[in-house]
Amino acid sequence: MGIDLGTTHSEVALINEQGEPMLLSINGSVLLPSVVSVDAENRILVGQPAVNNELAAPQKTLRWIKRRMGEQISLPLGNRLVTPPMVSSMILSSLKQAAEQHLGHEVHQAVITVPAFFSDAQRSATQQAAELAGLEVLRLVNEPTAAAMAYARGNQRDERWLVYDLGGGTFDVSIVDCSPSVMEVRASHGDTALGGHDIDLLIARAAAADFAAQHDIQLESDPLLWPQVIAAAEAAKIRLSGANQARLRVEYLTQSSDGTPLHLDWPLSRETLEIMVAPLIERSLLSVHEALRQANLRASDLARVLLVGGATRMPRIAQRLHEELGMPPQQWIDPDQVVAIGAAIEAALLSGDQVGIQAVDITPHSLGIDAMNSTGTLHMVPLIPRGAPLPCSMNRLFHRVHEAQSTIDVGVYQGESRDPHACLELGRLRLSDIPDDEDLSVLCRFHLDRSGILAVEVESGAGGKRANIQIERKLARENKNLAELGLLPSPSQVNVDAQLTNANWEDASDPEPSPVASEPPEPSCAADDLFMRAQNLLDSRSLDPDDAEDLLQALAAARSGTTSQRQALADLLYFLE
């Protein structure tokens, strides 16, 4: 089965005997809310029952856990402490139960999707969640890649696509070359803290500010009231995808100091919403331009722009992409379902069923270790460069500093900066008790599997000492399953149906031609946001003098220069921030 483990909703899909993808509908919906809660009887609830229980017990409810994956934290859930992988495993377990109920037998393997920009730790946490749920992960597939696989069914052309994937909590953009026989990812970029939920928060906070001005009550600080405001904000956002006016309404939300009932009734227009979300959309367009830059392409090199993720239903997103890239984006498969469909296609391919084309994915991050140069300065030395196709193995020879060095401590990093402190540390491994020897060589091996999970081996030439364990990750692993931990979701009576998806290539039409400049102009809103970020960083005085001078020069050039100079400023900010 294929699973889209989403921030706000999750889905499970299968390929039927006719080779057609179908999503499992649980109690009438193919979207399972990614929410976990504990009821009054201490039972664990997942999905819509958890959403219903949240109104009575918000302190016993967890949402948006995908954004916490990879963090070494424990969260309260009722009278238990749970980790993010444990919470995600409860969602996976519910999807697994639905598939088993539909198929009439147990399911032990799955393809699960993750954001393309997920780190090694986040991918490992997702794999751990699956293991806790009793699932072997056949492959972790990047979400925009899975979506492209769904769109590629029936394609008979050689085309280049840009996949714009804005989900509930994460954003990815990938550029893929697609032919009738194979699909190759050229470049990926993204933001794991940008999604539809951030739009909901903007709306909710604006409504809460107006409510506070009227009644001197802070809604966001009240755990009972705030989830209701967020839900009303999301409902208004959805309505504004097809209407020009909406209202955030929650009757009898609270009461005044004298006991008078207070209602939330806040008007919102599409025009106002589009002004509010403009910085978020422009933030996503920076990633779009970065992906094009990494692929050494221009917008005019694209044949299609494909919209993925429920948040892309907002009309303004398609409008801005049309303005920026010169062609209307397309969306002929349900944006909430397309990733799960792609995961199911990959699962079927791994089972030997020829229901789609093979995909070659890439790593969106450079991976390397810290090592000293000839002057004694510590650098991050990449072994696997950003954009390397998966799977990938690389070896590199280093040397000990001196013969008497008996210990080697290797830090493993992800990032594009030469400064290890500006990169994400994935873990460390140590080689001890190295004998004195004239052979100072140290061989470092990296292997990145098709799921984007890294294994590292270090071997000393002196005596053949070897550390061939996987990275000693900061993320602790749990060796039990959900049942052994007492965290199995409460079995519920659900109706599971299979819904065939409408994903025919014949539904696609060629995008209308539109002239695109050789260098698309940067929108003024995005440029202003770029300049503000740079100025704020300079004002913080947190940079060393050389970095501050580089940023000052780049800012001056970008203010009066071309799009490429603004892109150079964006690149520098990316590293410094």
For residue range 56-76, list pLDDT tens digits in order: 899 999 999 999 999 999 999
Residue 521's pLDDT band (boundaries 50, 70, 90)?
A: very low
d(CA 396, CA 442): 8
252: left (phi over 0), alpha (psi -120 to 50) or beta: left
Instruction: Please indicate, yes or no, whether residues 246 and 116 belong to a single structural domain of this protein.
Output: no
Higher model confidence: residue 431 or residue 516? 431
Domain count, the chain: 3
Same domain for 41 and 145?
A: yes
493 pLDDT above the threshold of 60: no
Q: Single out the residue in 451, 480, 506 at which a domain terminates.
A: 506
Whether pLDDT at 467 is above 70: no
C-beta of residue 266 within 8 angstroms of C-beta of residue 210 = yes
Q: Give the residue numbers spanning the domain of 220.
A: 196-274
Whether residue 381 has pLDDT greater than 80: yes
Task: Kindly provide the residue ranges of all beta strands, DSSP E only, lying in 219-288, ordered along the sequence.
Answer: 245-255, 261-269
pLDDT per position as a tens digit, 564-573: 567 667 767 7
Mean pLDDT over residues 434-461, rounded? Answer: 84
Calculate the alpha carbon distances from 122 to 15, 23, 70, 220, 254 in Å.
28, 26, 4, 29, 39
The helix/strand count (H/E) of the chain reads as 13, 28
pLDDT at 84 over 80: yes
Same domain, 100 and 239: no
Please indicate, yes or no, if residue 49 is contained in any of the structural domains: yes
Q: Are residues 501 and 541 in the same domain?
A: no
The pLDDT of residue 153:
87
- Least confident window among 44-48, 423-427, 486-490: 486-490
pLDDT score, position 469: 44
pLDDT of residue 134 exceeding 50: yes
297 in any annotated domain: no
Q: Are strands 109-114 and 136-142 parallel, antiparallel or unpaired?
A: parallel
CA distance 175 to 269: 34
**Are residues 150 and 201 both part of a single domain?**
no
522 vs 180, more confident: 180
On the question of pLDDT at 125 being above 60, the answer is yes
In a domain? residue 394: no
pLDDT at 507 over 60: no
Do 233 and 345 lie in a common domain?
no
Domain termination site, one of 506, 532, 559: 506
Q: Which residue has the higher pLDDT, 26 or 62?
A: 62
Task: Say if CB 310 and CB 339 are below 8 A apart.
Answer: no
| Residues 526, 501 within the same domain | no
- Both 209 and 266 in one domain: the answer is yes
Please tell me the pTM assigned to this model.
0.82
Among residues 362, 190, 202, the alpha carbon closest in space to that of 288 is found at: 190
Does 328 reside within a domain? no
Q: What is the mean pLDDT of residues 420-447?
A: 83
Residue 148 within a domain: yes
* In a shared domain, residues 6 and 151: yes
**What is the average per-residue pLDDT within 3-8?**
96
Tokens 């509908």 sit on residue: 25
Domain stops at, among 458, 474, 506: 506
Q: Are 145 and 99 members of one domain? A: yes
Residues 177, 181, 184, CA angle at the centre, nearest 5°? Answer: 30
Q: What is the CATH number of the domain that holds 341?
A: 3.30.420.40
Q: Does a structural domain hold residue 99?
A: yes
The answer to whether position 21 is within a domain reads yes
Residue 31 lies in a domain: yes
Both 91 and 216 in one domain: the answer is no
The CATH number of whichever domain residue 248 belongs to comes to 3.90.640.10
Same domain, 127 and 253: no
